[in-house]
């Protein structure tokens, strides 16, 4: 039996990856230093892998994103980027003014760049898998090149249909849906894959790791036919180690018949794969890659249980490799440096490095190593149970009634009361909440956290920031103001630190996209709110202005989805616990005179399971959690915000959340979002479709902003529309934010005038 691991976090022990990228972007280091630095990170990763496991890939270190790398390898580069000029073009595609759309990778918080297919002429353009392989090979390692499989690549790509009348970036992207289209695209793309594999084979490569997680989505028979055909062709050139993850494969029988060398299954995310193995066996002429160590959650495995499973699997198929259940980049590098976790928690945790060690221990124990067997015994004892139990919270959850999930008045009545109080103009303008987190803000927070300045000094500083941002917004002429979120590092971590039952780490960074990192909190006990969390800052902001200030909360589903969570109680119960804590906060905000409250749910969609059959259960409790926390007074206007949410498929569930106003990201794929509303005839809620992309430093022109609004006005009644950027502004600089918002407000004012006239 062998061990395999893949997807190790590329960030490095001290976030070296982030520094290299950002220094390079700022021109602080040369291209050569950048590449050298990245290569030493590759070597660091390979040396870690090889210290623990038998098999591991090259290609876990993309400079930005592995989907982008695959697109470039296959020559799928939209024409607007011109001739490919190395890293310059690479980063234009990733983060330039006309960058590719970004969206969440399956049900995770990792964002990939969506390949845009402009035509069908794919070819071997740049063999990135080979380049990565060679670097490690030269250093004496023996990695397996890794690449995203054709089917998954196409499922995650979008076809670019430029509408002749609209200027960039107003173009339309759509998924490949029909059988005919999928057939055509696969036909066009697999020869390019063959070129890549042939090229690899000619350099002595005999095995390739192919990631095909889309095989876990709902699939039709014809899709399986196509996938089978493709693997038949690809397998001629190299041995394919096919891995799937995040869910069970959609058709086990078809899966095990695929003509590949090794078949990888996620045995953690649900029970279906393992039941299928038990029921239908595992063909012994193929290697079974059993993903038994959870790649997404932080708990130490119960190795006793896992060892039993390994023994059972080995009886079924002696060609056995054990591995992580999904890529490890959802985890921080290591628990080692954590020194301030709540008592007893550290021993229970296992991050990426510790997961590698668990695989190694399992293998040694399987071979009868006595030290490893001792560790296996020990690990069983630390399995998490009954930590931080709060009886009163459990009781409150158990006694929830239907009416706890229902606002007192229906929307049609609420809106009248709210408008009476708020008196907002047509096309009200606002922002999503955060304003630039400048170097000064971050430094002052660090100074406070390390005891260099007092709490009073810190609070005074935050007050000054709030006052400044209120004045700036008034000057720009926005209608609904925000306090700027200067006191928050991260929208989830901030609340996690204020709630009990949730731990936060010091070094547990994880990449969400590009160089953006966050530290997911760890929900380990029953969650509650010991005291108000946001009232002080928001009430202060409101005291400075006559315009309404929106209170800002992070929603229960997002807090849960962006945290690691305990596995000893059902997920929905955790969500309800968080929701009750937030409801208490809303009551306090109302008492403080706040009239609008935004409950951000950017991770609402991403928690949805891969298969439609599981959606109802998920959305039922997710919607209920939101409704539970948003049971405000009828006169309080409840906003929510979502980003990258692939709206079309979930709009019915979103509607059930019963908010008054929603703002959504749309600037890189606005056509698609707007079409969702075209299809949903009964839509009556107010909505702000992001009028420009905050992920790019470019200042949007008035024409660009206007075209989004005009487009929206064709589909939705103008009375429902709000005007806002597509997400929070915290990663932008003031020099970008002020002119952008000015343009936005001017466009709104112009449109109002024109609408009155007509
Ligand atoms: N209110 C948050 C902000 O503006 C929302 C961020 C998000 O949706 N990711 O930063
Ligand atoms: Zn957002």
The 3-state secondary structure of 649-714 reads: HCHHHHHHCCCCEEEECCCCCHHHHHHHHHHCCCCCCEEEECCCCCCCCCCCCHHHHHHHHHHHHH
Mutate which of 599, 600, 644 to test ligand 1's pocket (most atoms within 8 Å of Cβ)? 600
Residue 287 pairs in a beta bridge with 262
For the CA of 602, the nearest atom of ligand 1 = 8
For the CA of 433, the nearest atom of ligand 1 = 4
How much distance in Å is there from the Cα of 728 to the middle of ligand 1? 4
Pairing of strands 102-104, 596-600: unpaired
Position of tokens 């547990």? 508
Return the ligand number nearest the Cα of 728.
1
- Give the separation between CA 454 and CA 58, rounded to whole angstroms: 48
How much distance in Å is there from the Cα of 268 to the middle of ligand 2? 30
Return the ligand number nearest the Cα of 729.
1
Half-sphere exposure of 730 (CA within 13 A, CB side): 18
Strands (E), 88-233: 102-104, 111-113, 116-117, 146-148, 158-161, 172-174, 207-211
Transcribe 615-656 into DSSP letters. HHHHHHHHHHHHHHHT---TTSEEEEEE-S--GGGTHHHHHH
For the CA of 598, the nearest atom of ligand 1 = 1
Q: Using a CB cutoff of 8 Å and minimum separation of 24, what contacts does 734-743 make?
A: 734/436, 734/438, 736/697, 736/698, 736/699, 737/435, 737/436, 738/472, 738/476, 739/699, 740/692, 740/699, 740/700, 741/431, 741/473, 741/476, 741/478, 742/476, 743/699, 743/700, 743/701, 743/702, 743/705
3-state secondary structure of 570: coil
Average pLDDT, the chain: 94
Pocket of ligand 1 (CB under 6 A): 432-434, 485, 491, 552, 600, 602, 641, 643, 727-728, 730
How much distance in Å is there from the Cα of 325 to the middle of ligand 1? 30
Return the ligand number nearest the Cα of 600.
1
Residue with the smallest CA separation from ligand 1 atom 1 is 433
Query: What's the pLDDT at 553?
Result: 98
- Which residues in the chain come in under a pLDDT of 70? 162-171, 383-386, 644-646, 666-672, 758
How much distance in Å is there from the Cα of 429 to the middle of ligand 2? 16
Query: What's the pLDDT at 168?
Result: 44
How much distance in Å is there from the Cα of 106 to the middle of ligand 2? 18
3-state secondary structure of 33: helix
Quote the pTM value: 0.94
Query: What burial letters (b/e) apply to 411-422, b meaning 16+ CB within 10 Å?
Result: beebbeebeeeb
Yes or no: say if 274 and 252 are a contact pair by the CB < 8 Å rule.
Answer: no
Residues comprising the chain, all counted:
758
Query: What's the pLDDT at 726?
Result: 92
Query: pLDDT tens digits, residue range 45-85?
Result: 999 999 999 999 999 999 999 999 999 999 999 999 999 99
Q: Which of 483, 528, 572, 695 is catalytic?
A: 695
3-state secondary structure of 301: coil
The values of phi and psi at residue 27, to 5°, are: 80, 15
Please report, for residues 77, 93, 96, 103, 192, the alpha-carbon distance to residue 89 in angstroms, rounded to integers and kept in the order given.
9, 6, 9, 20, 21
The values of phi and psi at residue 409, to 5°, are: -120, 150
Residue with the smallest CA separation from ligand 1 atom 10 is 728
Yes or no: say if 605 and 629 are a contact pair by the CB < 8 Å rule.
Answer: no
Residue with the smallest CA separation from ligand 1 atom 4 is 728
Yes or no: say if 366 and 358 are a contact pair by the CB < 8 Å rule.
Answer: no
Query: What's the pLDDT at 385?
Result: 56
- Give the separation between CA 18 and CA 434, rounded to whole angstroms: 22
Yes or no: say if 163 and 204 are a contact pair by the CB < 8 Å rule.
Answer: no
How much distance in Å is there from the Cα of 734 to the middle of ligand 2? 18
- Give the separation between CA 405 and CA 627, rounded to whole angstroms: 5
Pairing of strands 172-174, 158-161: antiparallel
| CATH topology for the 384-423+488-659 domain | TIM Barrel (3.20.20)
Mutate which of 485, 644, 726 to test ligand 1's pocket (most atoms within 8 Å of Cβ)? 485
Residue with the smallest CA separation from ligand 1 atom 6 is 728
Residue with the smallest CA separation from ligand 1 atom 9 is 602
Residue with the smallest CA separation from ligand 1 atom 3 is 728
Residue 507 among the catalytic residues: no
Query: What's the pLDDT at 169?
Result: 47
Ligand 2 (ion): residues with CB under 5 Å are 602, 643, 727
695: its two tokens: 């992920």
Query: pLDDT tens digits, residue range 538-586?
Result: 999 999 999 999 999 999 999 999 999 999 899 999 999 999 999 999 9
DSSP at 31: H
Tell me which H or E stretch contains 232.
helix 221-234
Yes or no: say if 599 and 630 are a contact pair by the CB < 8 Å rule.
Answer: yes
Tell me which H or E stretch contains 190.
helix 179-202
Yes or no: say if 684 and 729 are a contact pair by the CB < 8 Å rule.
Answer: no
The values of phi and psi at residue 112, to 5°, are: -110, 165
Domain segments of the chain as ranges:
384-423+488-659
Query: What burial letters (b/e) apply to 307-323, b meaning 16+ CB within 10 Å?
Result: bebbeebbeebebbbbb
Gyration radius from the chain CA atoms = 26
């Amino acid at each position: 039996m062998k061990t395999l691991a893949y997807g190790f976090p590329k960030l490095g022990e001290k976030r070296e990856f982030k520094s290299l990228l950002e220094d390079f972007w700022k021109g602080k280091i040369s291209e050569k230093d950048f590449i050298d630095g990245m290569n030493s990170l590759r070597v660091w990763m390979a040396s870690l892998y090889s210290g623990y496991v038998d098999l591991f890939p090259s290609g876990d270190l993309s400079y930005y994103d592995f989907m982008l790398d695959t697109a470039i390898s296959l020559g799928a580069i939209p024409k607007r980027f011109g001739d490919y000029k190395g890293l310059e073009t690479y980063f234009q595609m990733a983060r330039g003014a006309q960058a590719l759309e970004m969206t969440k990778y399956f049900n995770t918080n990792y964002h990939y760049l969506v390949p845009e297919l402009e035509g069908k002429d794919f070819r071997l353009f740049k063999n990135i898998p080979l380049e990565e392989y060679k670097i490690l090979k030269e250093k004496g390692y023996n990695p397996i090149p890794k690449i995203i499989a054709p089917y998954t690549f196409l499922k995650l790509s979008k076809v670019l249909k430029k509408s002749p009348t609209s200027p960039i970036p107003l173009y339309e992207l759509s998924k490949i849906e029909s059988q005919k289209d999928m057939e055509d695209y696969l036909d066009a793309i697999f020869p390019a894959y063959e070129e890549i594999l042939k090229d690899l084979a000619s350099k002595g490569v005999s095995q390739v790791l192919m990631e095909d997680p889309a095989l876990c989505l709902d699939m039709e028979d014809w899709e399986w036919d196509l996938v089978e055909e493709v693997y038949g062709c690809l397998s001629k050139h190299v041995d394919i180690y096919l891995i799937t993850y995040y869910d069970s494969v959609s058709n086990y029988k078809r899966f095990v018949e695929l003509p590949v060398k090794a078949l990888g299954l996620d045995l953690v995310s649900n029970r279906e794969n393992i039941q299928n193995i038990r029921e239908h066996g595992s063909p012994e002429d193929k290697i079974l890659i059993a993903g038994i160590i959870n790649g997404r959650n932080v708990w130490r495995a119960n190795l006793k249980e896992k060892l039993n499973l390994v023994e059972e699997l080995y009886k079924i198929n002696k060609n056995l490799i054990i591995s992580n259940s999904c890529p490890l980049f959802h985890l921080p590098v290591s628990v080692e440096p954590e020194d301030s976790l709540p008592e007893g928690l550290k021993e229970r945790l296992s991050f990426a490095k510790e997961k590698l060690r668990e695989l190694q221990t399992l293998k040694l124990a399987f071979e009868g190593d006595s030290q490893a067997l001792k560790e296996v015994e020990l690990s069983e004892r630390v399995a998490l149970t009954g930590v931080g139990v709060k009886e009163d919270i459990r009781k409150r959850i158990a006694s929830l009634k239907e009416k706890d999930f229902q606002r007192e008045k229906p929307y049609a009545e609420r809106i009248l009361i709210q408008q009476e109080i708020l008196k907002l103009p047509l096309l009200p303008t606002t922002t999503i909440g955060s304003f630039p987190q400048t170097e000064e803000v971050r430094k002052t927070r660090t100074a406070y956290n390390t005891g260099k300045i007092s709490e009073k000094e810190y609070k005074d500083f935050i007050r000054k920031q709030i006052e400044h941002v209120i004045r700036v917004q008034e000057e720009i002429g926005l209608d609904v103001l925000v306090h700027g979120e200067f006191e928050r590092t991260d929208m989830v971590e901030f609340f996690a630190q204020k709630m009990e039952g949730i731990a936060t780490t010091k070094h547990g960074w994880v990449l969400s996209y590009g160089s953006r990192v966050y530290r997911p909190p760890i929900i380990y006990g029953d969650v509650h709110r010991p005291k108000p969390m946001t009232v002080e800052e928001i009430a202060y902001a409101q005291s400075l202005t006559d315009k309404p200030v929106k209170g800002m909360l992070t929603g229960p589903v997002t807090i849960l989805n962006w945290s690691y969570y305990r596995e000893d109680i059902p997920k929905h119960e955790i969500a309800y616990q968080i929701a009750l804590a937030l409801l208490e906060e809303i009551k306090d905000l109302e008492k403080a005179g706040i009239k609008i409250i935004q409950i951000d749910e950017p991770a609402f969609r991403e928690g949805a399971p891969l298969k439609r059959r599981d959606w109802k259960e998920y959305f039922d409790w997710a919607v209920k959690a939101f409704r539970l926390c948003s049971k405000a007074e009828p006169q309080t206007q409840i906003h929510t915000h979502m980003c990258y949410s692939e709206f079309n498929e979930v709009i019915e569930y979103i509607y059930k959340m019963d908010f008054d106003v929603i703002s959504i990201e749309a600037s890189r794929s606005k056509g698609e979002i707007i079409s969702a509303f075209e299809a949903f005839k009964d839509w009556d809620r107010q909505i702000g479709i992001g009028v420009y992309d905050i992920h790019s430093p470019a200042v949007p022109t008035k024409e660009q902003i206007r075209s989004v609004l005009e487009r929206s006005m064709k589909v939705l009644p103008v009375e429902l529309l709000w005007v806002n950027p597509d997400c929070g502004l915290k990663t932008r600089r003031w020099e970008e934010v002020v002119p952008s918002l000015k343009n936005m407000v001017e466009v709104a004012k112009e449109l109002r005038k024109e609408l009155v006239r007509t």
